[in-house]
Structure 1
């Protein structure tokens, strides 16, 4: 049974939060959708994967279609990627799979956007694709599904690295590899002081710690100068963001007018959420509700706001406060696509200019390497659900692909595997460290 195999082989969503894929394989749907949009600026690992491993991706898609009894497969990909389209085309001839061509916009890879583009269906507010007969998988997840039926667990991750590095490129590395090793593989940095943007400028995180490690959900690294506009924006303390927002927001509503979820017909209104920054606690709850359906794409904060304020972060805080108070907003109005949706799409080229990263928009060509780091640190929770429990001890020797962490049969989660041959040198409830033998 495919779902059991996916759990044992450690397959999770490789393009986002790491939801265990075996759960999706247990569904019954009409459509299986491959998400190859890759809309985060400067991240290109999915593009390289589609160009170099189309057969594996399509095989994984067929396996999911068979498991879910789907009658149709939709392959979402940007129309501009002609090389990848040509590679994939050879493998979907005479199948139930066809392309859904996407524009070069942000966030074209959002699950709600992809489902609407592929099927014309709108997911219910706060819902999931399953509710409209769809399962959506990132293309790397589909690659891993293909490997899983051959008893190959998830031990490697394809990564793209760009920005201030000498040789921007994409390559496979063992899970648990340090960011410093990735930077070295790209020839080192071209600036002395820098920040590491992990998995995307818009929805990713920033770190200054080279010892952080690759997980199953890491999409890539972007190296930016420490003083870059984006770095200073992202490291602003919450109290500064709130103080500035309270004093400077003029309620222009651009954040709402550009919001992709609002344009799809969902009641997300960041400009109203911004009002919560200037009200008493009794007024906050009223404004917080307009954040409930926010997808945290960051477009309001990093593109739409002419004052460089932080509506996305205000929405994050509002959602947290609502959860803490046990309050849930339910949309009562029908979901109807805004008539201006197509006219308000944000082109990638414009977004890169706004982010001041246009000079870093270069190809990251795939390079076949066989890199084995001196040690790896493998986290036991790289997925949504329960963390895996260690089944190895310090001093044990393990082989690549060997199970080192498990979850119970009835728990949401997946197995974790060693990514190299080596000796276990540290085990705790959070991670397992392995030294190369």
Structure 2
């Protein structure tokens, strides 16, 4: 079986991002295969530890992906501060005889170094065009855990686990390997907090992750972190503001200082995204949506909202509001130029991670979260059939059927973009719907 089918059968998706099926991403040829090891979200510690503990597997997974797309070069992008990880990776690349094909490049400790378009420029000096993807400039990007999962797929092992950092205002920050479908509360219980009622949880990193209104969900393949903070923390209060409230505040208080634009990473790459103009349109109730199409260029990194704005307003939320309005009217941004170059001020406007962490009130919680072996013993697991971009998987097991860890339980619909889904633990199927499959775990049957 060829590599793409092995990856497809294993259900590999982008780990930690939107969950794009990896077999589909690797169908195109490209000049570069880039490994995103930046992990630029504050407090998260997955990628750096995976590269340290599984360097050979990640290197081989990256090489396999690169050879598949006929890339002439594979580049691992990792922040220069991770000196020991860099040393290990370079040593193993040499030992595996891949020096002529693969290299490690050190990234600056800035946010958002892991944004795919920022990463492309930092590693290749190319700029991805507006409203486009890295493939347009000859690049394909995967992250560390995706490369690890590609390595496992080659060995016939499907994706049944994900690595998650639990961090924040807690006694025991930790990174763990979690079977897909485990109750989120089981993961949160590892943090050392006896009563979660005083806390709010951010799903993912503190910059881009949303506040969770319900903790009764289940872990998916693309979960990467949970950040727990007291309910009165600045970040929680800011993230809990509704879109409508953000609209009202923006209309009454924006002073058009344009700091949101001046520090926007996409604007600094040469794109036409200018959040202050979107705020102006809101303030003056400008009705022609075609003039606000630039909102669709926003990557929602949240710099404008959580770092730049001196008035503590919500430019990102206003961008999202206009994105929704544009989508409702079927309006899509149409670039007017093909080639882009970074603005001359970019080098002086990059945001140091430590400064960002201080600004959003997380310095006291910026601690190691060591990768720790934990055995999860849930009574039931619920495995979503849509953990990825594309069509949901179709169940291939019935209620009452016994399944083994790694067994296929959901297949990709014919002629559709999607990802296969597998049981993460042994057990018996007790519920099967179009949305998920519930398995009673073996020891509880």
TM-score band by shorter chain is over 0.9
Distance of 1:66 and 1:289 partners within structure 2:
38
1:29-428 matches, cutoff 5 A = 29-93=30-94, 94-95=97-98, 96-189=101-194, 192-280=197-285, 282-286=287-291, 288-333=292-337, 334-428=339-433
* Residue aligned with 1:13, SS: coil
The offset of 1:283, in angstroms, is 3.9
The offset of 1:409, in angstroms, is 4.2
Deviates more, 1:209-218 or 1:129-138: 209-218
| Structure 1 runs of 4+ with >6 Å offset | none
The offset of 1:164, in angstroms, is 2.6
Deviates more, 1:320-329 or 1:67-76: 320-329
Distance of 1:318 and 1:238 partners within structure 2:
11
Deviates more, 1:235-244 or 1:28-37: 235-244
Distance of 2:410 and 2:232 partners within structure 1:
40
Distance of 1:88 and 1:374 partners within structure 2:
39
The offset of 1:370, in angstroms, is 2.9
In the alignment, is the contact (CA less than 8 A) between 1:178 and 1:213 conserved in 2?
A: yes
The offset of 1:86, in angstroms, is 1.8
The offset of 1:234, in angstroms, is 1.1
In the alignment, is the contact (CA less than 8 A) between 1:164 and 1:189 conserved in 2?
A: no
Deviates more, 1:79-88 or 1:206-215: 206-215
In the alignment, is the contact (CA less than 8 A) between 1:272 and 1:290 conserved in 2?
A: no
What is the aligned-residue RMSD (CA, Å)?
A: 1.4
In 2 relative to 1, CA 376–284 (structure 1 residues): closer, same or farther, beyond 3 Å?
same
The offset of 1:188, in angstroms, is 3.1
Query: Which digits, 9 at most, give the CA deviation of each residue in 1:119-167, with x for residues without a partner?
Result: 1111121111111111100110000000001110000001111113221
The offset of 1:353, in angstroms, is 1.1
1:10-25 matches, cutoff 5 A = 10-25=11-26
Distance of 1:168 and 1:292 partners within structure 2:
36
Distance of 1:98 and 1:192 partners within structure 2:
47
Gap runs ≥5 in structure 2? none
Query: Which digits, 9 at most, give the CA deviation of each residue in 1:323-377, with x for residues without a partner?
Result: 2112222222441211111110111111111111111100001112332322211
Deviates more, 1:193-202 or 1:22-31: 22-31
* Residue aligned with 1:291, SS: helix
In the alignment, is the contact (CA less than 8 A) between 1:191 and 1:225 conserved in 2?
A: no
Distance of 2:320 and 2:388 partners within structure 1:
21
Distance of 1:344 and 1:278 partners within structure 2:
27
Gap runs ≥5 in structure 1? none
The offset of 1:191, in angstroms, is 6.5
* Residue aligned with 1:207, SS: coil
The offset of 1:212, in angstroms, is 1.6
Distance of 1:209 and 1:326 partners within structure 2:
32
In the alignment, is the contact (CA less than 8 A) between 2:182 and 2:381 conserved in 1?
A: yes
Give TM-score, length-normalised by structure 2.
0.95
Provide the aligned length of Structure 1 versus Structure 2. 436
